[in-house]
Structure formats: C-alpha cells, structure tokens
Copies of this chain bind each other. A is one copy, B any other.
Amino acid sequence: MTAEKESDEMVVTPWEVSGVVDYNRLVEQFGTKPMTRELLDRLERHAGQLHLQLRRGIFFSHRDLDWWIGMHEAGQPVGLYTGRGPSGPVHLGHLLPWFFTKYLQDAFGADLYFQMTDDEKFLIHPELSLDDTVGFAYDNALDLIACGLEPERTHIISDVNHIGHIYRLALRVAKHVTFSTIRAVFGLRDSDNIGIIWFPAIQATPCFIQSVREGRNVAVLIPAAIDQDPYWRMTRDIAERLGFYKPAQIHAKFLPGLGRGGKMSASMPETAIFTIDPPEEAAKKIMDAFTGGRPTAREQRELGGDPSICTIYAYHYYLFEEDDGRLAELERECRSGDIVCGDCKARLAEAVKRFLVDFQRKREKARDSLDQFLFK
C-alpha cells in the first residue's frame, strides 16, 4: 500500500522507520516467516471469520505462530502481549494492532498483558516528566479499553506504578543480557542513559508474567508492528534459559501517515488522526491528505489515479472499508478515473467522523471501567 520509490533506502528498527518499506525483504532480513494459507485457515477456524487485517495481509509475517495455535489446539493455555509507549495521544496507527488483538482475545480466550512503557518514554524524552508519561499511560488505556477488550482477561501494566509486580522478573532477565547485546540489537551508545540500557529487561517481562503468576508455562503471542521485532529476538534468546517458552510473534505493516510516505507518526500531527481529534478536524486532515490522484480532476477522469501510492485509499484498505467487494470497486473506480480525489476523500472523511464519534463515546465510557483493567 505504501509509495514505491526505489531511491529511498529502507530503515526499519524499533527507533526508526524510514524509506520505502519492502515487506518481503523484511521477512528475509529479519528471518521471520510469511503468513500462509494454512495458518489463515486455522485462525479462521478458531475465530469463526478472518479478520480484515489477515484477509488483506496487514499482519503479514510471524515467528512460531503455528506453534502458538498448536498449543491452544492441544488444550494448553495461551496468552497475548502487546503494549504502547505513552508519550502523547493515541492515533489510528496505534489502534490497528489493538483491534486485531481483541479479535485474537475473542478467538482464543486468551489473557492479554498490555504494557504501558511510561518508564521508557520518560527516559527517552528530555521534555517529559514521569507525571506526564504516567498520565498518558492512564489516558491511553481508555483507547485500549474502547477497542472492546474483556476486563477479566486484560491486564494493563504501568511500568512505573506496577513495578513491584515486575521488578523481580526484570532482574532475572537483566542478569542474562549484556550491554554488548543491547548495543547490537537496539543501536544504543555509551552516551545513552543507564535507564534506557536497563529498559529492555522491563520490556521483556510481560512475555513471562502470566507463566509466573499461574505457576505453569504459558505460550505467549505478541501482535505488533514489525519494527518491534528486535525486542523479542533478544527476549527469545534468553527465554529458555529462564525456563520459559519463547514468545511467538505476528507482525503488522505500518499504517501510513496522511503525508507523502512514512508511517503514521505522532510527531507529525497534521498527518495523523488522533482518537481525541474533534471529528471535523480529522475530516479536514483527510481533505488535505496526499493522494494518488492527478493534478486536476480533468486529468484524473482521463488518466485515472494510482491507489498504490494513495494515503486515502490506504485508510479505506487498512481500516474503513470492511467490505472486500466495495474496496475492489473503489480501486477500480480510482484507476479508471470514475472517481475523483475530492469525492473519495469526502467518503473517507464521513467514515472517519462516524468512527470517531462512536469511538470517543466508548472512550469516555471506559473511564468507569478503567480500574477493572489495571494489573493487580
């Protein structure tokens, strides 16, 4: 779905995503496995339907997903882990894997440990205080809850406030991880602060916390964007030495921003749709977005547009056009020039506004149940 410009060199690490992302090359580079028809069939069997993000290859790669499903099929307990770095409001790019996580929770009856890395965000951002990042953690939790997760099976961890529950486990992890490893995996330097160097130990703990609490090994699956993969490679390397299973992973593509190229990023607020954006403001961002259309409506009608580089089409594709038939029709209309960008944007803007009104209502309601979701 993203723009293809061969000149832009691809960089995908936990701390930078830039250039044109070639997902097939990432699978090779990272040594992960592509999703297969057989895996999709098994997921569909358990869930009763195939999630849009599976049908459309948004979750496109994995490590040990077959094993994780197999554990469930063998009657073993399975868990889920994902998280969020709470440094500001949540945008649609963040929601993407959370919606998918809810689908997995429903399909597998799995407990979800959701980590708010309020310690990491404090350590990384000079301008943020602990009150800021912990505040964002609780605020962002409302977004997670609004995705429809189950309170009985969801455990939201604030690293800072729940450190008493995870410090022992983090120490056990840290004892097996050297600075050399961290330097290689995360690109850290001698000039980085000692909190950031320590943090990967904290980040690993939700892979194992359910096993510790239940006193038996639980197979854990991490749904997350592919740039987070290095964290779990390190965790996988040490898991068995600590007596735990290696966490499995399922990797998502990045939701593009509304500008030309790049993933949706909170650091470019004009190209990101935040869940707390007033719907009209979000609609305006969409009307200003970069498209695959022609300079004029007339040229568009004559020559057609290019949905493969269009952010508007991407939003229909990733999130807002659930119906595969209607999506195919939209693509055809674009390429043939039957629809012009203004109309296509207006159609998306309407869908986004409807979504935000509904989501913001759920988000406000989440305040009442927040406490039930917090890690205890």
Contacts and interface: CB of A to CB of B under 8 A. Distances in A.
Contacts of A200: 194
Contacts of A130: 168, 171-172
A160 B172 CA distance: 12
A119 B171 contact: yes
Q: From DSSP, what is the main secondary structure of chain A's interface residues?
A: helix
Interface stretch (A47-55, A60-68, A178-186, A289-297): A178-186
B190 A179 contact: yes
Contact of A168 (B160, B176, B183): B160
Contacts of A163: 163-164, 167
A194 to B, nearest CB: 5
B174 A123 contact: yes
B183 A190 contact: yes
A122 interface: yes
A115 to B, nearest CB: 15
Interface in A155-175: 160, 163-164, 167-168, 170-172, 174-175
Given A172-B130, A198-B197, A192 B178 contact: yes
A369 interface: no
Interface in A178-214: 178-180, 182-183, 188-195, 197-198, 200-201
A130 B160 CA distance: 21
Contacts of A201: 194-195, 198
A183 B175 CA distance: 18
Contacts of A197: 179, 194, 197-198
A179 B174 CA distance: 16
Given A160-B167, A163-B163, A167-B163, A174 B190 contact: no
A201 to B, nearest CB: 6
Contact of A178 (B122, B182, B194): B194
A351 interface: no
6 interchain residue pairs of minimum CB distance = A174-B195, A198-B198, A164-B164, A163-B167, A180-B190, A179-B190
15 contacts: A122-B175, A123-B175, A130-B171, A130-B172, A160-B167, A174-B193, A174-B194, A177-B193, A178-B192, A178-B193, A179-B189, A179-B197, A194-B197, A197-B198, A198-B198
